[in-house]
Amino acid sequence: SCDEVLVGQPKISAHDYGNCLFDVVQTVSRCSVSSNREIACTVGMAMGKDNEDCTFIIRRISMLSAYPLKPSKSLLLRAAFVGFSILAPICVAYSAVGTLTGSKTKEIDTSHLDPKMQHIAEQEIKTAMKQYHAKSGVIAIVNAKTGDVIAFAETSKNKNQSSWKSRVFSPGSLIKPFIAAAAIDSGSSSETKNYDCHAPYSIEGKTFTDYYVSQGSTSLMQAITRSSNVCLIKVAQETGAPVIRKKLAEFGFDMNTWWQANQSDKLQLAMASVGENIPVTIDSLTKSYAILANFGHPFQGGEAPVISATTTNSINHILENVVTNGTGKLAAIPGVSVAGKTGTVAENINFAKAEHLALFAGFLPVNEPRYAIVVVIEDGHLSKNGKTLTSGGELAAPVFRKVAINSLNNTKL
């Protein structure tokens, strides 16, 4: 137990202790709720190192530091005692928070795997890991007509790392097509509507920047093609938080857990526009892109389309332009129409442990999609012409391309 390891030590980091407890919670519950600020604070994770608000952790660390460790005591007895003393309050907190928020991490369903597609995904993620010297990676392929996961392959250098089947992470810029879809579907925006996208852009003390040099007035089409953070924030603000939250929830995104009552909707909407306060799993993210590929239709029978046919056509056009003219060029396949979006998560997000993620999600062929594919590379890099490449467009997009080509060859399209 965490207490058994740390008891009696003069200095204990709240961050390290919290990490240990959080791993215990995940193991016991088999379901991560790290996206809940309450439980995260309970186990010392949410607010950073030695946060004074996490009084449970601070009190417990003080107790452990002063606890007299007696060699004569049975190791098993001590482990049982401290294990109970930790797990009891944590599990109670977990149950309470889970009941109140309804937040559950759904593990990806792998009961419909296609052996040939699975082999493709496994080979490509292994190759990517070696090529990019990555910490971990995952590829998921969904049948765009049925919504079934037909391939799921992951690999990691650390055998003790949590599986991507249930891991929570930030989607980064992969959220932007859904922000655009909500805006277009509400009538507040269109492919050609222009926005003032001068960066940097600050909201209540938080500054948002763009990877590329600000172009000033930019259309929604170009904003997503260049993956402009500032532009998408402006799009979301004009559309409004209620519309954005409702529409993204219909796509399957969790728009409640990290939407905080002590922060303004304006700031949180800006954060949502770049994926900062929207926790996803590989299952929820892949299924959301599969809904786009299925022309806005959810896969549950009888449900109405999430977006109109007109909106679907606009989003498909925008995402195809990302691949042909934008950040996703390395995902392009000659003779095949590909729609996709790049993403890069370069820092820790409240609910995510990853240091750096390179992402790409998309579907193909655009007019009659067969596959929706998501690629995530953790802490990877590639040296080229004296530069170190780490972005989703540079690392994940080429992997997507290889997976897509092999998948299409497998079905003899």
**159 and 24 inside one domain:** no
In degrees and rounded to multiples of 5, residue 145 shows phi and psi of -95, -30
Supply the mean pLDDT for the chain: 82
Percent of the chain with pLDDT over 70: 71
The residues facing 345 across adjacent strands are 357
**96 and 139 inside one domain:** no
CATH number of the domain residue 401 falls in: 3.40.710.10
**18 and 144 inside one domain:** no
* Domain assignment present for 305: yes
Do residues 35 and 351 make contact, with C-beta atoms less than 8 angstroms apart? yes
* Domain assignment present for 207: no
Of 11, 9, 3, 15, give the one whose Cα is nearest residue 348.
15
Percent of the chain with pLDDT over 90: 62
* Domain assignment present for 196: no
**141 and 86 inside one domain:** no
* Domain assignment present for 30: yes
Do residues 402 and 124 make contact, with C-beta atoms less than 8 angstroms apart? yes
Name the band, by pLDDT with cuts 50, 70 and 90, for residue 258. confident
**9 and 141 inside one domain:** no
Is residue 148 packed enough to be buried (19+ CB in 10 Å), middle (13-18) or exposed (0-12)? middle
**90 and 147 inside one domain:** no
**70 and 159 inside one domain:** no
Give residue-wise pLDDT tens across range 31-86: 333 334 444 444 444 344 444 444 555 556 555 555 554 444 444 444 444 554 55
Global pTM reads: 0.75
Last residue of a domain, one of 66, 101, 136: 101
* Domain assignment present for 67: yes
The span from the CA of 161 to the CA of 129, in Å, is 15
**97 and 120 inside one domain:** no
The residues facing 7 across adjacent strands are none
**293 and 406 inside one domain:** yes
Name the band, by pLDDT with cuts 50, 70 and 90, for residue 108. confident
Radius of gyration of the chain (CA): 22
**298 and 367 inside one domain:** yes
Do residues 358 and 330 make contact, with C-beta atoms less than 8 angstroms apart? no
* Domain assignment present for 36: yes
Last residue of a domain, one of 101, 124, 154: 101
The span from the CA of 143 to the CA of 145, in Å, is 5
Half-sphere exposure of 323 toward its Cβ, with a 13 Å CA cutoff?
A: 28
Name the band, by pLDDT with cuts 50, 70 and 90, for residue 159. confident
**9 and 155 inside one domain:** no
pLDDT surpassing 60 at residue 133: yes
Pairing of strands 371-378, 357-364: antiparallel
Q: State which amino acid sits at residue 120.
A: I
pLDDT surpassing 80 at residue 329: yes
The span from the CA of 222 to the CA of 228, in Å, is 8
* Domain assignment present for 65: yes
Do residues 364 and 337 make contact, with C-beta atoms less than 8 angstroms apart? yes
The span from the CA of 325 to the CA of 342, in Å, is 13
Name the band, by pLDDT with cuts 50, 70 and 90, for residue 161. confident
Q: How many domains does the chain have?
A: 2
Q: State which amino acid sits at residue 253.
A: F
- How many Cβ atoms are within 10 Å of 217's Cβ, its own excluded? 11
Task: Write out the two tokens for 191.
Answer: 């492919």
Report DSSP state, residue 325. Answer: H
Residue 146 domain boundaries: 115-170+279-410
Q: What percent of the chain is helix, strand and coil (3-state, nearest 5)?
A: 45, 15, 40
Alpha helices in 113-254 (DSSP H): 115-132, 176-186, 220-225, 229-239, 241-250
* Domain assignment present for 165: yes
**164 and 124 inside one domain:** yes
